[in-house]
A and B are shown apart, each in its own frame.
Chain A
Amino acid sequence: MTKQQANWSPYDNNGGSCVAIAGADYCVIAADTRMSTGYNILTRDYSKICKLADKCVMASSGFQADVRALQKQLAARHLIYQHQHNKQMSCPAMAQLLSNTLYYKRFFPYYSFNVLGGLDNEGKGCVFTYDAVGSYEKVGYSSQGSGSTLIMPFLDNQLKSPSPLLLPAQDAVTPLVEAEAIDLVKTVFASASERDIYTVNKLELVIINAAGIRREYMELRKD
């Protein structure tokens, strides 16, 4: 009697890309709005961006059910934090929490590729980038998801940051102003949607600055 093999997978890839860019006093987080499975489109209008705290927003691509569960976990932990400390979690604090939450499931991972963006306690933009099991790094810009191989080299070219290995540590945030960074994100997604079948339909941008959070949308090619 042969051992029965599993003929279903607990994971699926629902596609899409996310990008975040940090500036001196703002942070731009963007993601496309398509949800796919294999070569099918499930829906064209699905947000991959989740506001975790007042000045902290996460964009995630990968397996949507895991992404949802992760967002719920973080939102619940944030609520507890607010009850215990009577204040919002800062972006660096949320970054550590996300890393720990991901590593907690090291041996049955959340198939979720995240970029966390927001303002730190001094109001400066910060972006944290993650892999599926929680290893993370504070950077000036990042992209994750199916289009990241197309997007990241372009961002490296336009926003080249000083090496994180330099001493004394140098600032990773981009010198661009907010409008220029938004323009760059739009350009980057327009290019990625030409060649990545999963990064298409609509682009959702979230911009965090001292004034608060605002959302913008841009149409992308839909095929």
Chain B
Amino acid sequence: MYPYVTGTSVVALKYKDGILMAADMGGSYGSTLRYKSVERMKPIGKHSLLGASGEISDFQEILRYLDELILYDNMWDDGNSLGPKEVHNYLTRVMYNRRNKFNPLWNSLVLGGVKNGQKYLGTVSMIGVNFEDNHVATGFGNHLARPILRQEWHENLSFENGVRLLEKCMRVLLYRDRSAVNKLQIAKITEDGVTISQPYSLKTYWEFSAFENPAQGAIGSW
């Protein structure tokens, strides 16, 4: 069982008014960059935002499951709607049950949302491991972005500071994750709803003098 078309890291954090999430738009086919406009974050119902890394077709399948879930929820027409906690729980059960049948959905999911003023941010892996926290990341983001978030995240970040922090994480990922692409979206979810930005790219700097002619002065083969 292997993944074929994959997305790389998703990074998300809680800020003053809700959740901010970022993901690039690349869909890699092994080492080829096959698709460059893949939207890896989607709104779910009224209160949630789902971001996924891993196999893109499995993400699309999950979106179909969630469509049906939200449809049935709306059909009750009882004034209640599924919040991020409920959607996260549903996704956890789906991922865990597929793992039990030895046919996993090859994704790491990030689920964020706000309902009745309560912010929620959680994650589920392909084998069903799930937790919530003030900031989460998938894949390489766990290694590169979370240390930055642990150092610099604090309660009640403003929107601008939250975006700046996310961009800092995405820039590091761009420099160091070979499957990252410089075309990303940042999504925000608050009590008022979801906004996903237009795709844009980060400014990068490649002229650091230490990287120019790095082998100068090196002795031996290193």
Residues of A participating in the B interface, judged by any CB pair closer than 8 Å: 4, 6-12, 14, 35, 37, 40, 42-43, 45-46, 63-65, 68-69, 108
Interface of A is mostly: loop
Complex contacts, A9 vs chain B, CB 8 Å: 127
B76 at interface, CB cutoff 8 A: no
| Complex CA distance for A149 and B156, rounded to whole angstroms | 42
Cross-chain contact of A7 among B1, B99, B132 (Cβ < 8 A): B1
Task: Write out, one digit per residue, whether chain B residues 80-106 have a CB within 8 A of any chain A CB (1) or not (0).
Answer: 000000000000100010011010100
Q: Is the CB of B133 within 8 A of A68?
A: no
Cross-chain contact of A68 among B1, B100, B104, B130 (Cβ < 8 A): B130
Knowing A40-B142, A40-B143, A68-B92, say if A10 contacts B129 (CB, 8 Å): no
List of 5 A-B pairs having minimum Cβ-Cβ separation, nearest first: A65-B128, A43-B133, A43-B131, A65-B129, A64-B129
B72 at interface, CB cutoff 8 A: no
| Complex CA distance for A42 and B143, rounded to whole angstroms | 10
- B109 CB, min distance to chain A CBs, angstroms: 13
B194 at interface, CB cutoff 8 A: no
Complex contacts, A4 vs chain B, CB 8 Å: 1
Cross-chain contact of A8 among B96, B126, B128 (Cβ < 8 A): B126
Q: Is the CB of A10 within 8 A of B99?
A: yes
Determine which residue in B104, B129, B130, B142 has the highest number of CB atoms from chain A within 10 A of its CB, and name it: B129
Determine which residue in A9, A42, A64 has the highest number of CB atoms from chain B within 10 A of its CB, and name it: A42
Complex contacts, B131 vs chain A, CB 8 Å: 35, 42-43, 46, 64
Q: Is the CB of A12 within 8 A of B2?
A: no
Cross-chain contact of A45 among B102, B127, B133 (Cβ < 8 A): B133
| Complex CA distance for A97 and B194, rounded to whole angstroms | 45
Q: List 23 A-B contacts (CB under 8 A).
A: A4-B1, A6-B1, A7-B1, A7-B2, A8-B104, A10-B99, A10-B102, A10-B127, A12-B127, A12-B129, A42-B131, A43-B131, A45-B133, A46-B131, A64-B131, A65-B125, A65-B127, A65-B128, A65-B130, A68-B92, A68-B130, A69-B96, A69-B128
Of all chain B residues, the one with the shortest Cβ separation from A69 is B96
Q: Is the CB of A14 within 8 A of B102?
A: no
Q: Is the CB of B133 within 8 A of A14?
A: no
Of all chain B residues, the one with the shortest Cβ separation from A5 is B1
Q: Is the CB of B1 within 8 A of A8?
A: yes
- A7 CB, min distance to chain B CBs, angstroms: 7
- A104 CB, min distance to chain B CBs, angstroms: 13
| Complex CA distance for A4 and B1, rounded to whole angstroms | 8
| Complex CA distance for A159 and B19, rounded to whole angstroms | 49
| Complex CA distance for A193 and B192, rounded to whole angstroms | 44
Complex contacts, A65 vs chain B, CB 8 Å: 92, 96, 99, 125, 127-130
- B120 CB, min distance to chain A CBs, angstroms: 14
| Complex CA distance for A37 and B128, rounded to whole angstroms | 13
Complex contacts, B133 vs chain A, CB 8 Å: 43, 45
Complex contacts, B92 vs chain A, CB 8 Å: 65, 68
- A164 CB, min distance to chain B CBs, angstroms: 36
Q: Which B residues, 102 to 136, have Cβ-Cβ distances below 8 Å to chain A?
A: 102, 104, 125-133
Task: Write out, one digit per residue, whether chain B residues 124-158 have a CB within 8 A of any chain A CB (1) or not (0).
Answer: 01111111110000000011000000000000000
Q: Is the CB of A108 within 8 A of B100?
A: yes
- B169 CB, min distance to chain A CBs, angstroms: 16
Complex contacts, B127 vs chain A, CB 8 Å: 8-12, 65
